Amino acid sequence: MIKTLLLTDIVDSTALTQEVGNERMSEIWVEHDRIARDLLQEHDGQEADRTDGFLMLFDDPTEACFYAQKLHLVFDQISSKENINFKARIGIHTGEIILLETTEEHRAAGVKHIEVEGIAKPTAARVMSVAAGGQTLLSKEAHNGIDHNKVRSVSHGHWRMKGVAEPIELFETGLDTTHFQPPEDTEKVYRVNLVDDLWVPVKETKHNLTPERNAFIGRTEDLHKLSDVVNADHTRLVTLLGPGGTGKTRLSKRFGRMWLGDYPGGVWFCDLAEAVSLEGIANGVASAMNIPLVIGDPVEQLGNSFAGRGSCLVILDNFEQITEFAEDTLGKWLNMAPGTKFIVTSRNRLHLTGEKTIKLQPLAVNEDGVKLFETRARERGSDFQISEENQEDVHAIVEQLDGMPLAIELAAARIGIMQPRQIRDRLNDRFKLLGTSKGKAKRQETLQAAIDWSWDLLEEYERSALAQCSVFEGGFSLEAAEAVIDLSLFENAPMSFDVLQALVDKSLVKTDVKGYDINEPWFGLYVSIAEYSAMKLKKEDTFEGSGELGQKECWQRHITYYSQFGKEEYIKFIDTKEGLSEAKALQHELDNLMTACKRAIGYKISNEATLLLKALWEVVRIIGPRAVIEAPAKTLIELRATTDINKLSIYNILAEYYSSSDLGEKAGHIADQGLELSLKVKDRRSEGLFSSLKGVALFQTGDIKSGTPYCEKGLKITREVGDQTTEARVLTNLGVSICISDDLDKGKPLLKLALEVSKQSGSLSNESQVLQSFASVYNTEGDAENAKFYIERIFEIARETGNMKNEITALYLLSYTLQIDGKYFEARDHLNKCLMISKEIGDKAMESQSLYSLGILFTKQGKYESASNNIEKSISIGQEIKDPWKECIAHNALGVNHFYAKNYLAAEASYQNCLNVSSKIGMKFMEGASRNGLGIVSVHQGKYDEAFKYLTEAQEIWKDTKWHAGEGYTNRFLGVLYMTKGDHAKAHEYFETAKSATGRINNYELTEVLLDYAKSALANNDKELARAQFNTAVELVSRMELSEEAHVKKDIERLEALIF
């Protein structure tokens, strides 16, 4: 029979008994039983069991929900009356059960009247076990049966239960006043999300929420309100409003952790306190989400990243100083990523369409405010407790501070050296000056007064140190602090570290530990305190050395310290294995480098500004956003104080930036300017550098013929002057261009030489670039062993340097290598991972590559519709990002897919599109591939003369380029042509040649040749030859991971019947 089971359990019943005593608890249990049974009669339920709670049975799940609601209300009344926390967790499930009535003899012995059996019972128990005190959870089966017009409910996602094969969806029900909240995982039940067709535990969901360093106090109602607004169906953007210090940051992070399970794409917290520009916003978000901004427009890349993650939550903290950029950043992201929700903390509204706002009020004084004071005081190592003696003073302190969390924490930090009475008296003097302001202005003045009070209690050298800390952006290391903070004006001032530690102890400076293999402390200021301290540094006579002159001197020390990282010897060092830790640490200094560079340009200090620009480029070329380099570089070039030597360095950075952003024409223009200036100042090294950069720029625009002489000239000069770094780059680009457009046998020696030079110089970035080129070449030639060797080293360098872009490239290259070995399912998994990561970081180019590569795999498996879907998406992306190379390869892949699906007209159109694009950009091997395709399509259309023309044109291309794979395909298709025309002797000559060429490349392609050869031999009545080719093909296929729909398997099935 089908019944709705309701299970209850009193939370922490043992602890309650210890709290109130056995006698009183027994009375409460009697009342509990009476209430539960009385209510049961009102809702047509049946009691089935009684332990710490009840097992009740209902025919109607709606009545079960009503019963649960009333039970919670009555238990709340018991809690209030007894001054205890008497809460029940309730689980409801509908399922099939067996009811067994016990015998009279058993009932006389005290056994229950009925026994409930069936899987529904343990399922209901597990549903109940997940619920928190005062919460009712339903299974999907129970939820489906309720009257949704009468019962309020919300889904809490899917949960994996021990002993249950598939996850089940859980729902919460409650009154209109109930605040729904996801329950916590238990040992036997935990929440899961569906990610790439797999149920993944929520605890494994990606996020960057750091563990809370101290207890979260209060804000229960605010959390519920935020939950109701954010979780509403059409909510996309919620702005948490409130002055600094009200706890907006802590609340938003707490919410993110609570509702992590609702966001399979992750929850991402982004601190934008240091951002003052559109680029600063992009950098802050990218840094928080570990997205390398090295692909075009950073705002667009981030939008693509959000969209690629699916359902995710992004928290943008401290947005008030950048609201003018809200439409150009957040506005665009809302349009680009419909699955993303945003929580913004700000002092001001953003005025974006769809924005919902919540004004955050201060903490309630009597409860949460006092508790926060006590908790923070105890966290300082004090044994402080609220007592009758100090309760009034603490209450007065919290009330005086208007319940502002940050202000309360500053006051609590003084416990240990001051008593509550002393703190209260000192605050009274300060707060008399507040006047009669009200509301938001009053709260802002309260925080200002609290910081003033803390400032007044500092030693003068501590004030100076705190003010000087304000010149940093995005935090700072101890080494940076020691270089920038100058306390020489104060006799007997402690060391900088000791002063910093004192400021940390007083909650004025916050500290954290960053990894980067150096495990050094990292310091920073709360936004409100940073603003206050900067004002004190600039104001005259706030401490000895303050004022505009003191501020300028402090800025100068900041500039000098960070400019050292742009020196040539340091840049070379951080590109080596020995400099990895320093390179990763420098990446964390991006904000300081940008700020120092801007200040140096403002002061027209061109030498240090150029050094800072060079250091900045070394960071953003790895992690982005690369676009931030353009504006300061152009400004520096225009400065009259900038020397020609410095201009050459800046031209180099700009040319590399444009080149890495696939802006070949701009890169070429800058290279021309650099070449002209290097000739003017007779700088031979720069002449070689800019000659090679000009060549690379021409390669990017598809003009390989014109670019080669520039690269050859650059190579000659760099060798003359001994510039190994540039030599390695030129050799790599020259080698790749020759491999693609001319001759693999000529290109490979250049790549080998480039690798040797890179290793000699120790440059990891150059080595990685050469390795990628080598792996691509070996994959093209079908040499899996050599390809794997180089790919393993690419992975190693990428992980050592933290270069995610190169790691994805290695993953992609490995997928091709696996295909050479016939491991198609493993290759597919690698490509899916590549696709997932490229979406997460917004890399449209790699997304396009991954899609057409997946399409090629689907074609081989005979899944033509899936192949078309993937490849067409790839073509669309290639056109969107204006990448003719990606578009060209994808058109060819689509042609192959249409051909095997026997859609010859569509195949012809795709191959023609490929030919048009490849001819335009000089992509020789794709010109040959598209002519191959047009040739074989013409064979099947009966256009033999046209087929012969296309295939002989392809042959000429392979003779020029020495591309063995293309040669193999052409010979196979010529064999098919002659087989179709009945000239089997000629066909066999071509098949033999094709076997030799494709056997070096890929077993799949060799199998296709063998099967065509067998068909020709069979048509020529040579069954012995046909069997030999057929058997070899069967043996090869047995080593491949192929589905039954694969066309080679179907060919084998058809041929087997004919041959044997």
- pLDDT, greater one: 49 or 366: 49
Residue ending a domain, among 510, 525, 544, is 544
Record the tokens describing residue 122, joined without a space.
Answer: 């343990």
Q: Dihedral (C-alpha) 300, 305, 309, 315: value to the nearest 10 degrees?
A: -80
Asked whether the predicted pLDDT for residue 433 surpasses 50, the reply is no
Contact call for residues 309 and 259 (beta carbons, < 8 A): no
**Rounded CA gap, 3 and 9, in Å?**
20
Asked whether the predicted pLDDT for residue 889 surpasses 60, the reply is yes
Contact call for residues 307 and 261 (beta carbons, < 8 A): no
Instruction: Indicate whether 551 belongs to any domain.
Output: no
Tell me the H-state helices in 861-941: 864-880, 884-900, 904-921, 924-940
Paired sense of beta strands 476-477 and 521-524, if any: antiparallel
547-580 pLDDT per residue, tens? 999 999 999 999 999 999 999 999 999 999 899 8
Strand, helix or coil for residue 53: coil
**Rounded CA gap, 472 and 483, in Å?**
12
Neighbours of 165 (CB within 10 A): 6
Report the range of poorest mean pLDDT among 609-618, 734-743, 814-823, 1018-1027. Answer: 734-743
Query: Which residue has tokens 């795709």?
Result: 910
CATH number, domain with residue 330: 3.40.50.300
Q: What's the confidence (pLDDT) of residue 96?
A: 92
Report the range of poorest mean pLDDT among 57-66, 252-261, 477-486, 512-521. Answer: 512-521
- pLDDT, greater one: 367 or 490: 490
Report the range of poorest mean pLDDT among 310-314, 389-393, 914-918. Answer: 389-393
Instruction: Indicate whether 76 belongs to any domain.
Output: yes
- pLDDT, greater one: 761 or 333: 333
Rounded percentage of the chain residues whose pLDDT exceeds 70: 94
Asked whether the predicted pLDDT for residue 440 surpasses 70, the reply is no
**Distant-in-sequence, close-in-space partners of 1026: CB < 8 Å, separation ≥ 6:** 1014, 1015, 1017, 1018, 1055, 1059
Are residue 393 and residue 332 in the same domain, yes or no? no
Residue 151: phi and psi, rounded to 5, are: -120, 125
Asked whether the predicted pLDDT for residue 912 surpasses 80, the reply is yes
Phi-psi region of 351 (alpha: psi -120 to 50; beta: other; left: phi over 0): left
Q: Nearest-CA neighbor of 620 among 286, 159, 987?
A: 286
Distances (CA, A) of 164 to 161, 194, 403: 5, 17, 48
**Rounded CA gap, 372 and 376, in Å?**
6
What's the distance, Cα to Cα, between the start and end of the chain in Å? 59
User: What is the overall mean pLDDT for the chain?
Assistant: 87
| Amino acid letter, 818 | L
Are residue 964 and residue 996 in the same domain, yes or no? yes
Instruction: Indicate whether 670 belongs to any domain.
Output: no
Instruction: Indicate whether 135 belongs to any domain.
Output: yes
Are residue 81 and residue 179 in the same domain, yes or no? yes
Residue ending a domain, among 337, 359, 381, is 359
**Rounded CA gap, 522 and 512, in Å?**
5
CATH number, domain with residue 519: 1.10.10.10
Are residue 229 and residue 334 in the same domain, yes or no? yes
Residue 842: phi and psi, rounded to 5, are: 75, 30
Report the range of poorest mean pLDDT among 438-447, 849-858, 898-907. Answer: 438-447
Are residue 224 and residue 295 in the same domain, yes or no? yes
336-359 pLDDT per residue, tens? 999 999 999 998 899 999 999 999
- Bridge partner residues of 101 (DSSP): 114
Report how many domains make up the chain: 5
Q: Nearest-CA neighbor of 172 among 149, 204, 138, 219?
A: 138
The angle, 0 to 180 degrees and rounded to 10, between the axes of the packed helices 984-998 and 964-981 is 160
Half-sphere exposure of 257 (CA within 13 A, CB side): 12
Query: Which residue has tokens 């439409």?
Result: 327
Instruction: Indicate whether 470 belongs to any domain.
Output: yes
678-737 pLDDT per residue, tens? 999 999 999 999 999 998 888 777 677 788 899 889 989 999 998 888 888 888 888 877
Handedness of CA 303, 305, 307, 311 (dihedral sign): negative
Side by side, which strands form the sheet with 510-513? Answer: 476-477, 521-524, 510-513
Are residue 245 and residue 394 in the same domain, yes or no? no
**Distant-in-sequence, close-in-space partners of 602: CB < 8 Å, separation ≥ 6:** none
Q: Nearest-CA neighbor of 206 among 196, 220, 219, 216?
A: 196
Contact call for residues 262 and 194 (beta carbons, < 8 A): no
Are residue 351 and residue 439 in the same domain, yes or no? no
Are residue 22 and residue 165 in the same domain, yes or no? yes
CATH number, domain with residue 981: 1.25.40.10
- Bridge partner residues of 346 (DSSP): 241
Paired sense of beta strands 88-96 and 136-139, if any: parallel
- pLDDT, greater one: 422 or 382: 422
320 DSSP 8-state letter: G
**Distant-in-sequence, close-in-space partners of 887: CB < 8 Å, separation ≥ 6:** 875, 878, 879, 917
Half-sphere exposure of 260 (CA within 13 A, CB side): 23
Instruction: Indicate whether 353 belongs to any domain.
Output: yes
Rounded percentage of the chain residues whose pLDDT exceeds 90: 48
621-667 pLDDT per residue, tens? 888 888 889 999 999 999 988 999 999 999 999 999 988 877 778 99
| Rg, the chain, Cα only | 36
Asked whether the predicted pLDDT for residue 822 surpasses 90, the reply is no
Chain-centroid distance of CA 1050 in Å reads: 42
Record the tokens describing residue 963, joined without a space.
Answer: 């591309």
207 DSSP 8-state letter: B
Handedness of CA 494, 498, 500, 506 (dihedral sign): negative
Q: Nearest-CA neighbor of 306 among 341, 357, 352, 349?
A: 341
Contact call for residues 347 and 244 (beta carbons, < 8 A): yes
- Burial class from Cβ neighbours inside 10 Å (0-12, 13-18, 19+) for residue 842 reads buried
Report the range of poorest mean pLDDT among 10-19, 134-143, 381-390, 466-475. Answer: 381-390
**Distant-in-sequence, close-in-space partners of 1034: CB < 8 Å, separation ≥ 6:** 1052
1016-1046 pLDDT per residue, tens? 999 999 999 999 999 999 999 998 999 999 9
Are residue 323 and residue 185 in the same domain, yes or no? no
| Amino acid letter, 338 | P
DSSP helix, strand, coil percent of the chain (3-state; round to 5): 65, 10, 25
Record the tokens describing residue 762, joined without a space.
Answer: 């120790």
Q: What's the confidence (pLDDT) of residue 437?
A: 43
**Rounded CA gap, 56 and 9, in Å?**
12
CATH number, domain with residue 154: 3.30.70.1230
**Rounded CA gap, 355 and 372, in Å?**
31
Are residue 155 and residue 44 in the same domain, yes or no? yes
Residue 415: phi and psi, rounded to 5, are: -65, 135
Strand, helix or coil for residue 817: helix
| Amino acid letter, 1060 | F
Q: Nearest-CA neighbor of 134 among 185, 180, 187?
A: 180
**Distant-in-sequence, close-in-space partners of 106: CB < 8 Å, separation ≥ 6:** none
Contact call for residues 412 and 369 (beta carbons, < 8 A): no
Phi-psi region of 334 (alpha: psi -120 to 50; beta: other; left: phi over 0): alpha
**Rounded CA gap, 763 and 1020, in Å?**
60
Cis ω for the linkage preceding 211 (within 30 of 0): no
Q: Dihedral (C-alpha) 218, 221, 224, 229: value to the nearest 10 degrees?
A: -120
**Distant-in-sequence, close-in-space partners of 770: CB < 8 Å, separation ≥ 6:** 728, 731, 732, 751, 754, 755, 758
Q: What's the confidence (pLDDT) of residue 515?
A: 40
Burial track 952-985 (b if 16+ CB lie within 10 A, e otherwise): ebbbebbeebebbbbbbbbbbbbbbbbbbeeebe
Asked whether the predicted pLDDT for residue 516 surpasses 50, the reply is no
- Secondary structure (DSSP) of 374-403: HHHHHHTT------TTTHHHHHHHHHHTTT
Instruction: Indicate whether 20 belongs to any domain.
Output: yes
Residue ending a domain, among 413, 441, 456, is 456
Overall average pLDDT of the 120-130 stretch = 90
Record the tokens describing residue 494, joined without a space.
Answer: 């402690």
Q: The whole model's pTM is what?
A: 0.69
**Domain extent for 943:** 916-1059
Overall average pLDDT of the 988-994 stretch = 93
Instruction: Indicate whether 926 belongs to any domain.
Output: yes
Are residue 320 and residue 377 in the same domain, yes or no? no
Are residue 127 and residue 166 in the same domain, yes or no? yes
Using pLDDT thresholds of 50, 70 and 90, give the confidence band for residue 985.
very high
Chain-centroid distance of CA 752 in Å reads: 35
